[in-house]
A and B are shown apart, each in its own frame.
Chain A
């Protein structure tokens, strides 16, 4: 009962021929990454610019105008002044703006006085139905306030240091992606999604197909062993998926001009491990369900969903409740996403990603063992 490389190779060659003759598999593998990159890279733009903001300036001083000028020149806001209650009601009815900025009467006076106990105040009312936009707008406005504070401090050298610093309580800098360019953030993560979904779907069909068309009966009557079938089925799909990873990588570098600062070798090793784990998970699904339809449903559930939701791609892990932060650790998508983003955007030493790499190694090994172990070697229904 020894493992035979020759038999594993035969299975791999056979699987390779299946791929070549199945236009659907080829199409999905070659087109899906392009669709993903096109969609997330070009169409979806999480950078909010020129957000329409209605402005009601009740102060009407040179200071308030100076502040608004500062806000307009930031490029994030399209300011639309409104006058009087009637226009305000109209604006609210039109419902075409996410926010209303109100400058209170006495704003200019308070700023000039520079009393930290009684600062000049502005009010930003934002539409909470789009919380992402609302919070982004809040932080952009925060930036405008800081900048304005600096300007006012320069204009008014009589202000005490304490007063000048009054508006500078928040101080954040975005390292590695100073402009918080969302493409820099999204495109390196796309490999995570593509592998985490595509690889699982590809292999999820293969064993189930053999059960459904009867060829499994033939396979089982020959001396071939589950470990040889599992390895033989992994290799061709590994190459196929890795090809996709390279395509996405090249698009990221040459089309989206995303910097790659980390270790290329480390990234490649992580890709190989992650691809293997995802393919093996697909095999586990296939081996257990033995039906193509059920397999594909499972594959969507454990491939697509966690790739988006539990990986940190859409919802930042740090913002999740504690339970979910630990829960996401079960999904290799989370770890690979971390590796991807880090190696692209920072030159951190690979050692800092040891935990993440360790996690996907453990996952891949566990899935391979499970696929072999769960492989049914008799045809009992």
Chain B
């Protein structure tokens, strides 16, 4: 198969629950071997989109094609090629990690020997001992997440869907998750991941920003930064405690600012205006150009839409 050929094609997807449109006319392609990130607030429609592609929710209208098969009519053909890690913890709390893995693997038709070999490799990579004797409910949050990930990767799926895999885990766990995700992509697996963490989104090949059931921006991180910040944003740092006063002055002048640690960030095109507003605080403020982060992009994309 061609590397650049889309493996997932979503076209005008609408998923409604009663009168509520959780996904409201979404279209995108995901290419084979890509790490595709889905960003957005809770309730933006990320999970609903993922569940629909995995074949456990039915589209209200529009189409989802995976590997050339329509998902609604070919779920049975596609399911063996899909690995899904839900946002909810879905392992059985009263079974051990090994028992959970054994169960998941056997549903995919793997033999006990295959399961043992494969889980050994996975656990080794994840850095988890498969000999954990306790039921899963006794394990810590990070270990549980790792076990859930292992369970969704056990059958070596072509397409991996991870719904907020790193939510509530430690920075070390997040780092090893992403190391694993990158390695999956290197092996030609397609990884579709949702996250809350903007810094994680930087690892994605392409990202889509979702807001209220719609995709408001899509592209590589660099493309998005360029698109929303043709001129780099400005960062105000303070040498005197005037941050609050400056913020109020900016607000009065209608210039949106965002607190960023000890600094304030402001969109660049308003530079002339900005200089005028901060003139009274001159000796307490310095202005320099900053690299836009995906967080800036997200805020920009969302506020831009709201303004319309």
Best-surrounded residue of A22, A215, A221 (most CB of chain B within 10 A): A221
- Is residue A227 contacting chain B, with contact meaning CB distance below 8 A? no
- Is residue A223 contacting chain B, with contact meaning CB distance below 8 A? yes
Q: Is the CB of B109 within 8 A of A1?
A: no
- Is residue A161 contacting chain B, with contact meaning CB distance below 8 A? no
Segment at the interface with B among A2-10, A65-73, A173-181, A350-358: A2-10
CB-CB under 8 A from A223, the residues of chain B are: 76, 79-80, 107-109
Cα A14 to Cα B106 with chains together (Å): 11
Closest to B103 in A: A14
Known contacts A214-B86, A217-B90, A378-B58; A222/B79 CB under 8 A: yes
Known contacts A217-B86, A221-B79; A21/B94 CB under 8 A: yes
Cα A213 to Cα B100 with chains together (Å): 14
- Is residue B284 contacting chain A, with contact meaning CB distance below 8 A? no
Q: Is the CB of A378 within 8 A of B56?
A: yes
Q: Is the CB of B58 within 8 A of A6?
A: no
Q: Which of A190-247 contact B (CB under 8 A)?
A: 213-215, 217-224
Total A-B residue contacts, Cβ distance less than 8 Å? 80
User: Looking at chain A, what size class is its interface with the partner chain?
Assistant: 20 to 34
CB of A7 to closest CB in B, whole Å: 6
Cα A242 to Cα B150 with chains together (Å): 37
CB-CB under 8 A from A215, the residues of chain B are: 90-92
Q: Which of B92-123 contact A (CB under 8 A)?
A: 92-95, 99, 103-104, 106-109
Q: Is the CB of B106 within 8 A of A218?
A: no
Cα A139 to Cα B244 with chains together (Å): 97
Q: Is the CB of A220 within 8 A of B56?
A: yes
Q: Is the CB of B94 within 8 A of A10?
A: no
Cα A21 to Cα B138 with chains together (Å): 14
CB-CB under 8 A from B92, the residues of chain A are: 14, 18, 213, 215
Closest to A381 in B: B17
CB-CB under 8 A from A13, the residues of chain B are: 103
CB-CB under 8 A from B104, the residues of chain A are: 218, 222
CB of B162 to closest CB in A, whole Å: 12
- Is residue A379 contacting chain B, with contact meaning CB distance below 8 A? yes
Q: Is the CB of B88 within 8 A of A221?
A: no
Q: Is the CB of A221 within 8 A of B84?
A: yes
9 A-B interface contacts by CB (under 8 A): A4-B109, A18-B92, A217-B56, A217-B84, A379-B56, A379-B57, A380-B57, A380-B58, A381-B17
Those 7 A-B pairs whose CB atoms lie nearest each other, nearest first: A214-B88, A218-B90, A10-B106, A221-B84, A222-B107, A220-B56, A21-B94
| Chain A contacts to B: CB under 8 angstroms | 1, 4, 6-7, 9-10, 13-14, 17-18, 21-22, 213-215, 217-224, 377-381
